[in-house]
Structure 1
Amino acid sequence: MTSLVDNDPVPAIGEQAATGETAEIFADIRSTLNVEVVNLIWRHLANFPGALQWVWASLKPLYLGPAILPADNIRKTLALPHLPPLSRDTLRAAGLDVSALSTIRAILDSYQHTNALALVCFSAFLTRFQSAEASQKATLFPVDFDKSYIPPSRVALPRLIPMTEVRPSLANLIYELNGFGEDGDTALVASMYRHLAHWPTYLALVRTMLVPLQESGELQVLVAATRRIGDSLGAALASELSTTAPRLEIEPVLHSVRRFVRHPIARMTGVCALIGCATPRVTTV
C-alpha cells in the first residue's frame, strides 16, 4: 500500500491512496489540525501495522487542548537570530505579486502552526514511551502563556510538487535549503520547501538571506535550542498521554518518530519562524 507518488524520502501512504481506517484517520487529522495536507510523518507511520492508530489516538487529545498554548509559547518566545526583512521592492522585482505573497504567507503560517504543535506532541510521545522518569523530572519553562492564540484559517495550499518534477537547479536549491540548520540527517526533505517551489525566485531570496546564518553556525544553534525547548515542553505534557503501548514492535515506530522530531520538525520549527519574520504580509506589499 506504500505510495511514493510524491517522491517521499521514506515509505509513506499517499493521501489519495489511503483506504479504510487509514483514510478515516487522515481525514480526522486534517479536521483536527484544520489543515489541507497530512504531514509526511503521519503518512509514514501508516506503513507500520497499528502504528498510525496508536500514535494518533495518543496525540489527538494533546492537539485538541494541552499542547496548544505550549506550542504557541514556542512560536512567540523562540530566540531568533536577526534577519533583515524582505523589502517591498525586492519582492516586486522578484515577480512576487500580492496573490503570490498571499499564498506564500498561507504556507508559512500553516507550517509554523503545525510544526510547533508537532514538536510538542511528538516530544511528549517519545518521553511517555521511552522514559517515565524523564517526564516526571521535566518542568515547563517559567513563562505565562498568552491565551489569545488564534490558529491560522484553513486554506487550500498549492500542490506539493514531487522532486522528480523539479528541474535540477531548483532541486539542488531545495536540497541546499533543507540542509540549513541540520546537523546529521538531510534525507528527510521538508515539505515546506516543496510547497514553496512554485516560486523559485522566493526560494532564491530565502537562500540568500539564510546563507550568512548557516555559515556562522547560528542556524544550528537555533535548531539545538528548539530541540531543547521541545524536549522540555513535551516531557512536561507526557503524563497527559493515557494510552499504553500496543502489542506491536514499538521500537521501529519510536525510531521513526525520534528521527522526524530531532531533524525536520525541530529544524523547520525554527527556520520557518525565521523565514516568516522576514516575509511581509500582503498588507505591507
Structure 2
Amino acid sequence: MSLPEIREAQASPDVAAIYAALRSGVGVAQVNLIWRHAAALPEVLDWLWAQAAPALASGAAAGARDRIAARVAVPALAPIAAPPGVADLIETYNRGNLTNLAVLTAIRLRAAGAAPAAPGAAAPVGAMLPVPPPLPKLADLPPEAATLVRGLAAKHRLSDASVVPSLYLHLTHWPEMLALLDPVLSPDGVAAGRDGAVAVAAAEAPGLIAALGPAPAPPAALDGFVATLALFTREVIPGMVPIGLALRRAVAMGR
C-alpha cells in the first residue's frame, strides 16, 4: 500500500515526541503505519493523539487490548519450535495490533457518533519489548520469500489488494515460519477471524470511548484519513489479530 508517511528517522521534533510517547504507551519499539500516515497529513496526527493519549496513559487501552485478546477466536496451529527472536517479534505485533485495534476503533466509532459507556478495567501496558529487526521491503525479497508473502497477503482478500501485512514481511527473516503458516490459513478462515476481531473491538469501544481525550476540531484532511482508518480497523489490523495470537500460542507450546 502506497500511503504517504513520516518515518521515525524523518520526524520533526514535534512528531518525534508523539512517536516516543506512542511507543511508551503501547509498549512496543515501533510505530504502526497508520500513525506514520497520520503524521503526513496536516494536523491529523495531533487530532488522533489528543484522543488516544489519555486512554494509553490510564491503562484503559491496555485493559481493552487484553479483553479483546481473550475473546477473539484463534485458529489452531501445531506447536512451533521458533528460532530466537521470533517470540519477541510476534509479541510486538500482538501488542501493537491489539492496542491499535482497540483505540483506533473507539476513535473511529466516536467520530461516527457512538456514545461512551462505563469503562472497563485498566491494565498495565507491560515492559517495553525489544526493538524488532529491520522491516524488509517486498521488492527486495528473494523470489521465493516474495511469493510466500504475496500468497499469504492474498488470503486476506483486502479491498486494497496492494496491502501487505507487515508481520509477513518481518517474518521473512525466518522464512520457515511463513512456510508453516501458508498451508494452515485459508481465505474463509482469515475472513472469519477478522470479522470476529472487528466485532469484539466494536463491543469494547463504548467503554474505551469514555477514556479518550476530547477530540480537537476536525482538520481539513480528516475525511480522507477516516476512510484509511476504516480500512485498517475493519480489515488490515483485525485480520492479523487472530493470526498473531495463534502464533503466540503455537510458539509457547513449542518451547
TM-score (norm 2): 0.89
Question: What is the number of residues matched between the two proteins?
Answer: 253
Structure 1 match to 2:18: 25
Whole-Å separation in 1 of the counterparts to 2:100 and 2:209:
13
TM-fit CA distance, 1:185: 3.2
After superposing the two structures, state which structure 1 stretch, 262-271 or 28-37, moved more.
28-37
Q: Which runs of 5+ in 2 are unaligned?
A: none
Structure 1 match to 2:40: 47
Moved over 4 A (4+): 147-150
Structure 1 residues 193-244: Cα deviation after superposition (integer angstroms, max 9, x where no partner): 121111112211121232xxx15x2221111111111111123322332323
TM-fit CA distance, 1:33: 2.0
Whole-Å separation in 2 of the counterparts to 1:16 and 1:242:
28
* 1:153–1:239 CA distance, 2 compared to 1 (3 A): closer
Matched residue type, 1:254: V
Structure 2 match to 1:184: 159
Give the secondary-structure state (helix, strand or coil) at the position aligned to 1:83. Answer: coil
Note if 1:256 corresponds to 2:228: yes
Structure 2 match to 1:267: 239
Structure 1 match to 2:99: 117
The one of the two structures with greater contact order (alpha-carbon pairs below 8 A, sep at least 6) is: 2
Structure 1 residues 90-138: Cα deviation after superposition (integer angstroms, max 9, x where no partner): x6xxxxxxxxx2311001011111111111100110111111xx335x7
Structure 2 match to 1:3: none
Give the secondary-structure state (helix, strand or coil) at the position aligned to 2:9. Answer: coil
Structure 1 match to 2:110: 128
Note if 1:222 corresponds to 2:193: yes
After superposing the two structures, state which structure 1 stretch, 40-49 or 30-39, moved more.
30-39
Give the secondary-structure state (helix, strand or coil) at the position aligned to 2:183. Answer: helix
* 1:231–1:148 CA distance, 2 compared to 1 (3 A): closer
Whole-Å separation in 2 of the counterparts to 1:78 and 1:273:
9
Which residue of 72, 79, 88 corresponds with 1:78?
72
Question: Radius of gyration: which is bigger?
Answer: 1
8 Å CA contact retained: 1:197, 1:203 = yes
Q: Which runs of 5+ in 1 are unaligned?
A: 1-7, 92-100
Whole-Å separation in 2 of the counterparts to 1:186 and 1:54:
28
TM-fit CA distance, 1:279: 2.1
TM-score (norm 1): 0.80
* 1:243–1:149 CA distance, 2 compared to 1 (3 A): closer
Matched residue type, 1:9: S
Which residue of 74, 84, 88 corresponds with 1:102?
84
* 1:194–1:58 CA distance, 2 compared to 1 (3 A): same
8 Å CA contact retained: 1:178, 1:189 = yes
Note if 1:280 corresponds to 2:252: yes
* 1:181–1:239 CA distance, 2 compared to 1 (3 A): same
8 Å CA contact retained: 2:65, 2:98 = yes
